[in-house]
Structures are given as structure tokens and as C-alpha cells.
Structure 1
Amino acid sequence: MLFGNKFTIMKNISLLTLADLPAAFQIEQASHVFPWSEKTFYSNQGERYINYKITQNNQIIGFAITQYVMDQATLFNIAIHPEHQSCGHGRALLMYLINILPEKQINTLWLEVRRSNQSAIRLYEDIGFNEVSIRKNYYPTESGKEDAIIMALPLFGG
């Protein structure tokens, strides 16, 4: 199954390299209320990962970190720099990832999202993700904990 037109969205999307990690980590820090630590961020690289960046004017403006095992992939992290949010960059990056996963024999993409992140939930639902479970009190908040919604997108391309 092909989601969108792969060739119209790939021009600014490429693999996230080791040289890109410092800039991507800065986006991580700027984009999330509770960002990953530097150690966690740098440890989510390697042969079991499919990590991409999106650039504009040769500057990294976002990234996606995805781990795969057998025929399943999990989107661990996606972030767009705050100055570039709400412009379709996150959708383009996610659609690019979704389009290449079947080529790697991945048939399901999983993710988790904060219950309060309604804009992300709307995006995921619009793309075709379905809610499959809830992890109670999973994410830290300033006043305690927040549920994580587990979502899955069947790709049927594996």
C-alpha cells in the first residue's frame, strides 16, 4: 500500500547520520516538554533503526527515530523544530517513513503518544493509525503522570 506520493515528499528527507545528531538533539530539546536525555537520544541509533531527517535550506528542521524488529516497527520519536511546526513537515516525514517501511518487509508501524497531544493524535488518526491500548500513568508531567495512547498502522506491504 502506498500512502501519498513518495516522490513529492522525498526531496528534503534523508537518513539521519551521526554527523546530524547534535543538530537533531537540539531540536529534541526545543520540541518536547520532557525531552530525551542526550544518552537516550544517542543510543537510539544503529542497525535496528530507521532514522530520517527533514531539511529546509540545508538545515535540519526535524527527525524521526524508528526501531524495527522482524516485521514490526515502532516510531520512538518524531520532532519538528518549533519554528517549523504546523507547516506539514511532520506529516511529510511520517508519510515518507510509512512509504519505505514495506520495502523493508515491515507490516505494522506502532507508536505511543501523550493523551494530551491532541494535534499529534489527529494527525495519526488522519493517516490511518488506530488506538489499540492505553498505558496508564506512563508519561511524566509537571503535576504527576499522563496516559500514553498506543496506536498502530497496518501497512500490508510486508
Structure 2
Amino acid sequence: MQTISPLLSSELEMAYAIAQAGHRYPGQLETFLAQQGHAYLNLKVMEITKMVGFAITQIVQDEASLLDLVIHPVAQRRGVGRQLLLALIEQLQRRSVQTLWLEVRISNAPARALYQQLSFNEVFVRSGYYPAEKGREDALILARALTD
């Protein structure tokens, strides 16, 4: 059974361990730890007593940016990311957020498919945004309106 709830500051190091397992190039721990406070909506997914994923979202006025959404590799391909993203969208709508923005690696086909299924639209390409094995990789910038 999965539950989605706020990610507590005491759980950030556990979430960062998931980021390290789920990303080829995880960001710096200091940056990760700084992404909390009143301007953030951070959620976690628990399976029984184990955290299997999280989302870090910054809110500025009526817009939000999904900074990171990671599901541990052992929990991927089971709809956990979809559930987390839908819960995040619902909470952002309750806060009257109008638009949710995110970026995704061009090569991340599973994430791109999920975002397309959930009505995210491609806005533009940010060249060389992500580190890659050979050089840099482009990011797709996506947005979804959260109001009718």
C-alpha cells in the first residue's frame, strides 16, 4: 500500500539517497537540502514504512516548478510516479496555482510519456541543460495549466 504525504526536513537525507539511486547525475546535497520552506511543496511516497519516491516543487505566486521527481529504481514502472504527480497537481490546484512547469531530459522516454498522458505541453527546448556521458543533453521544458 502506498501513501503520499509531506516530505519532512528530517527525511531529506533519505530522499537524497533515492535521488542518487534514481539519477545518473544527482545534484549537490547542499542544494537539495536548501529546497524546503514556505515556497516549496515537497511530497513523498511511502510503501508501508519505506520511502520509495519524492517530489520537490517550488511555488512562486500562481506558478510552480517541479524541480525533481524521483522514484527509486526498485519501485519504477508500477504507477508510483503517476500517483505522486497526480497528488501534487491536486494539492497545487487547492493552493490556486495556475501552471506547473518542469524540465525533462530529451532521452527520458518513460517520463516524457507520463507527462504527455497527463496533459503537459512542450514549450521549448533548453540546449545543453543536463550533464551527459558525452557532453551535455537538451531538456524539454513542459507546462500544464492547472485551472479550467
Answer yes or no: same fold by TM over 0.5.
yes
Name the TM-score, length of structure 2 as normaliser: 0.97
1:109-148 to structure 2, matched below 5 A, reads: 109-148=100-139
Equivalent position amino acid for 2:28 in 1: S
User: Where does residue 17 of structure 1 map in the other structure?
Assistant: 8
Aligned partners of 2:50 and 2:11: how far apart in 1? 10
Moved over 3 A (4+): none
User: Where does residue 38 of structure 2 map in the other structure?
Assistant: 47
User: Where does residue 90 of structure 1 map in the other structure?
Assistant: 81
Deviation, structure 1 residue 19:
1.3
Deviation, structure 1 residue 142:
1.1
Aligned partners of 2:4 and 2:48: how far apart in 1? 12
Deviations 1:63-91 (A, max 9, x none): 00000000000000000111001111000
Which blocks of at least 5 consecutive residues in structure 2 are unaligned?
none
Alignment RMSD, CA only? 1.2
Deviations 1:79-123 (A, max 9, x none): 011100111100000000011111111010000000000110000
1:62 pairs with one of 48, 53, 67:
53
User: Where does residue 62 of structure 2 map in the other structure?
Assistant: 71
Percent identity, please: 45
> Which protein has greater RCO, CA pairs closer than 8 Å, 6+ apart?
1
The number of aligned residues is 148
Aligned partners of 1:102 and 1:127: how far apart in 2? 15
Deviations 1:103-149 (A, max 9, x none): 11101000000000011000000000000011011111010011110
Which blocks of at least 5 consecutive residues in structure 1 are unaligned?
1-8
Equivalent position amino acid for 1:154 in 2: A
